[in-house]
Structure formats: C-alpha cells, structure tokens
C-alpha cells in the first residue's frame, strides 16, 4: 500500500512547530507531536526532531506569536468523532451528507423523499471516494487530455472527478454490486432533475436502503470501524402489513411517468441476475407476522433466523424467487396490452413487432429461452411494446 499522504506535515504546520519550539514555556518534541497526530494521521516523532535539528524545512519561517495563539485557541479543532475539521474535511462531509440523506428520507413531513436522498447520497459517496483517493495519493482532478493541465471552473476552481468517474477508476475500492447500485441511482437522478416525479419511493426504496448500508460498510472498510454510522443509522420499520398483490397494485397506481419506468427497466435489463439478487444492489427485508410460544420472545420486535435452518432456507427461497427478473409469456404481453387499451393487439401483431427488431436476439436482452421453443419476455420488452403501441395511436 502506498504511503498515506496525510502522514506528513504541511508547510503552515511546520511554521507553527517552529514557533512552539521558540515559545515559553518550552515544549519538548513529544508535547509538540501531540498537536499534530490523530487517528486518521500518524506523524513520526522523528519529524519533529529533524525540524529542531534543522535537517528538514530549513527555509520555512516560524509563525508569528499571533498565529501561534490563534492555532492554540482553535486546537483541537475536531468534530465529535475525533476527525480534524481541516485535515479530514472530505471524510467529515461524506459522513454528514449521508446522515442528511437518511434524515431527509425519514422526515415524516417530506414529500420528495427519494429525490432528496439520491441527490444528497451521491454527494456523500463523491466525498467518500475523494477522501479515499486523497488517502491513496491519487490525483482526482480532471486534466486536459493533450496538455495535462488541470481543468478549472469558470471562476478558477479546480474540477474534481464526479462520482461516475470515480466508479470507473481502477483504484475504486467498491465491489460490482455496490457500483451497480450507485450507477442506477445516478441515472435515476438524471431522469428526475427538474422533473415532476410524483412518488417514486415505493419503486426504488430497496435501492436506497442498500445505498445507505453500502456507504456505512465502505466507510468502515476504507477508514476504520470507528468512523461507521452504526450509532446514527438505524433500520426503518414498516408497521403496516402489505402483501405482494397489494404492493403491485400500489405501484401500478403511483402514476409514474413513462420516462422513469423506461429508465428503471432499461437499467436493470443490462444487469446479470447475480447483481439483481445481491443485497448490495437492492436491499430487501422480509417481515413475517407471527405469534410466539415463549415468554422470553414476546417482547422481541425483530427475530433473527439462522440461514442454515429449515425456516431460514424457506424464507431465502421465497426472497430469491421474488427478486428474480419478472418474465412474461407471449400471451401475458398480449393480455396486458389489451387491458391497457389496445384491444386489437393480438398474437400476429406481437410476432410482427419482435421480428421487426430481431427481438429474440440475445444481444437485445428482451427475453430468455428457458427451454427449447419456450421463450419468455422481460419487462424491457413489455415497455418496448407499450411505447410502440402508444406511438401508433
């Protein structure tokens, strides 16, 4: 692993150290070191001695008495988690942004929960990736392809990588399911910017839950468990029982715009089933209403079941079945279009549609052949048919 670039003294800090060495009462090297080391940055004690012995930083001028006083008055200048407000700024912003995202979604008076969460969570992940790249000594600034010059905004600020660019970089530490979750949310964000979305919470809530849990896991893996959000992020419980048929009816009546449905379908059509099922891509929890036969369990609102148990295997079987990509028989597609106001759409019209675009070519990912001559269509094809029929009106 490359040396952590945080584990070095900045020029301004060297000036303060020299001022401390000259001040009264005198501070020894160990005393001075205590002001500049913290959990996220470890300064070797030899660096202080080298400065005193004039082996390093000879050209740096000591800070003034006023500058030293200002430094001591502001010290330790850390947040409640021990992170330095300047040196750990990116990490602090990442944690704070994700907390704002979750708090905004859980606000009972909020109407645009998912929209607020996505925008703020993307900011949180961007800061986290920038903090990681900085920790690894990787330059995360956009540069001109030919000259190599750092690109800047209209008013002179350096342009840093956006989240999509961070995810594509070889040094990105995230797994494929986590990346897929973020790419999905980024594309949904592009679709909802400056648009009326009604309510999309039910459609993508599992993606949002996975996003927040993934963030906490990445935060702890990259920077240490002590920086996790476990104490701040809890599990949101649903107090009303909603069955699968009820859920499908609710989703049908959310009045989602066509572009959001199309975006959702197209994005997931490109993903392998392993990613679709992965809880890091879409986090699903099953709440099973049950009575208890033990006094000790009567007050437990959540009961954990071992995956290896018979009950756990049955629950897992049901969840995997529910998470598989929905498939339609040809007659299902025809009946659905008839119900949506296209009574003349029949088997012949359906055949002409898929033949016109070579719909059964695997490259399009419109469907799958489960057995020989047994073709089933995905939601992506249903949406394609729906759009074609609407255009013919």
Please count the helices (runs of H) and the strands (runs of E) in the chain: 16, 3
Q: What is the pLDDT of residues 259-274, one digit of tens each?
A: 555 565 666 666 777 7
136 by Cβ neighbours in 10 Å (0-12 / 13-18 / 19+) ranks as middle
In the numeric block, which tokens belong to residue 103?
A: 């708090």
All residues at 6 or more sequence positions from 235 whose CB lies less than 8 Å from its CB, including other chains = 285, 302
Section 245-264 average pLDDT: 46
In the numeric block, which tokens belong to residue 89?
A: 């700024």
When pLDDT is cut at 50, 70 and 90, the band that residue 127 belongs to is: very high
Model pTM?
0.58
Where would I find the H helices in 224-366? 244-252, 258-269, 273-277, 310-323, 330-339, 347-356
Higher pLDDT residue, 242 or 55? 55
pLDDT value at position 238?
33
pLDDT value at position 1?
38
Q: Where exactly are the structural domains of the chain?
A: 11-74, 89-262, 327-392
In the numeric block, which tokens belong to residue 74?
A: 């502001």
Higher pLDDT residue, 383 or 287? 383
Q: What is the pLDDT of residues 37-75, one digit of tens each?
A: 877 777 888 899 999 999 999 999 999 999 988 888 777
Q: Please state, in angstroms and rounded to a whole number, the distance separating the CA atoms of residues 22 and 34.
A: 17
When pLDDT is cut at 50, 70 and 90, the band that residue 246 belongs to is: very low
pLDDT value at position 108?
78
Residue 97 confidence (pLDDT) above 90 = yes
State which of 74-88, 230-244, 334-348 shows the largest mean pLDDT.
Answer: 334-348
pLDDT value at position 284?
64
Q: Please state, in angstroms and rounded to a whole number, the distance separating the CA atoms of residues 166 and 155.
A: 23
Q: Please state, in angstroms and rounded to a whole number, the distance separating the CA atoms of residues 18 and 38.
A: 20
Q: Please compute Rg for the chain using Cα positions.
A: 28
pLDDT value at position 345?
92
* Side-chain-side CA neighbours of residue 263 (13 Å): 19
């Amino acid at each position: 692993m490359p040396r952590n670039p945080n584990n070095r003294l900045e020029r301004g800090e060297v000036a303060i150290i020299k001022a401390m060495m000259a001040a009264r009462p005198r501070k020894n090297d160990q005393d001075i070191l205590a002001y500049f080391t913290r959990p996220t940055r470890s300064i070797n004690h030899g660096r202080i001695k080298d400065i005193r012995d004039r082996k390093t930083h000879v050209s740096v001028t000591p800070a003034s008495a006023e500058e030293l006083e200002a430094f001591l008055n502001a010290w330790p200048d850390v947040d409640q988690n021990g992170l330095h407000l300047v040196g750990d700024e990116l990490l602090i912003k990442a944690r704070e942004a994700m907390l704002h995202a979750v708090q905004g979604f859980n606000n009972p008076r909020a109407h645009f929960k998912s929209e607020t969460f996505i925008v703020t969570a993307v900011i949180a992940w961007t800061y986290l990736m920038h903090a990681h790249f900085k920790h690894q000594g990787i330059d995360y600034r956009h540069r001109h392809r030919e000259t190599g010059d750092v690109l800047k905004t209209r008013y002179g600020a350096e342009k840093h990588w956006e989240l999509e660019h961070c995810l594509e970089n070889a040094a990105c530490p995230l797994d494929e399911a986590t990346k897929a979750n973020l790419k999905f949310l980024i594309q949904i964000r592009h679709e909802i910017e400056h648009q009326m979305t009604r309510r999309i919470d039910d459609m993508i809530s599992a993606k949002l839950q996975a996003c927040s849990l993934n963030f906490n896991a990445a935060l702890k893996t990259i920077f240490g468990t002590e920086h996790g959000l476990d104490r701040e992020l809890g599990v949101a419980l649903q107090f009303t029982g909603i069955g699968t048929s009820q859920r499908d009816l609710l989703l049908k009546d959310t009045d989602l715009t066509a572009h959001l449905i199309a975006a959702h379908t197209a994005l997931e059509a490109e993903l392998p089933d392993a990613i679709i099922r992965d809880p890091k891509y879409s986090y699903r929890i099953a709440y099973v209403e049950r009575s208890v036969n033990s006094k000790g369990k009567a007050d437990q609102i959540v009961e954990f079941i071992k995956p290896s148990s018979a009950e756990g295997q049955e629950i897992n079987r049901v969840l995997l079945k529910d998470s598989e990509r929905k498939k339609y028989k040809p007659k299902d597609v025809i009946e659905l279009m008839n119900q949506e106001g296209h009574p003349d759409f029949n088997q012949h019209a359906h055949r002409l549609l898929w033949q016109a675009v070579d719909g059964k070519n695997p490259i399009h990912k419109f469907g799958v052949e489960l057995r020989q001559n047994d073709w089933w269509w995905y939601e992506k094809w249903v949406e394609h048919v729906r759009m074609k029929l609407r255009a013919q009106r």
